[in-house]
């Protein structure tokens, strides 16, 4: 991984974190979005952040497919389960 890729990934992670904070803090009273949409937007940002961490920082993009698939499935399945629990 080059230094430029790490910097870009870090900027993406920070911007997604700030987006989650913005959605959770400023839109929590339901004026701009309903609560269901807010939680799904936050969970989507969590999935993207998890994918970035697995592929870029843990450098599993070139790892055996099983390990990468296990970690990426965890990053996708857990937020979906949380969203479904919140929705039900």
Closest CA to 38 of 24, 52, 25: 24
pTM of the predicted model as reported, rounded to 2 decimal places: 0.79
Q: At what angle do helices 35-52 and 3-26 cross, to 10 degrees?
A: 170
Sign of the Cα torsion 50, 53, 55, 58 reads negative
Instruction: Report the pLDDT value the prediction gives residue 35, as an integer from 0 to 100.
Output: 66
Q: What is the pLDDT of residues 2-52, one digit of tens each?
A: 888 889 989 999 999 998 888 878 776 666 666 677 888 888 999 999 999
Cα–Cα distance for residue pair 86/64, rounded to 1 Å: 34
* Tokens encoding 81: 């389960």
Sign of the Cα torsion 39, 43, 49, 50 reads positive
Instruction: Report the pLDDT value the prediction gives residue 59, as an integer from 0 to 100.
Output: 87
């Amino acid at each position: 991984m080059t230094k430029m890729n790490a910097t870009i990934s870090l900027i993406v992670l920070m911007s997604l974190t700030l987006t989650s904070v913005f959605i959770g803090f400023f839109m929590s009273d339901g004026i701009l979005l309903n609560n269901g949409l807010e939680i799904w937007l936050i969970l989507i940002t969590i999935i993207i952040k998890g994918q970035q961490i697995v592929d870029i920082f843990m450098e599993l993009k070139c790892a055996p497919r099983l390990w990468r698939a296990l970690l990426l499935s965890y990053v996708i399945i857990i937020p979906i389960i949380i969203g479904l629990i919140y929705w039900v």
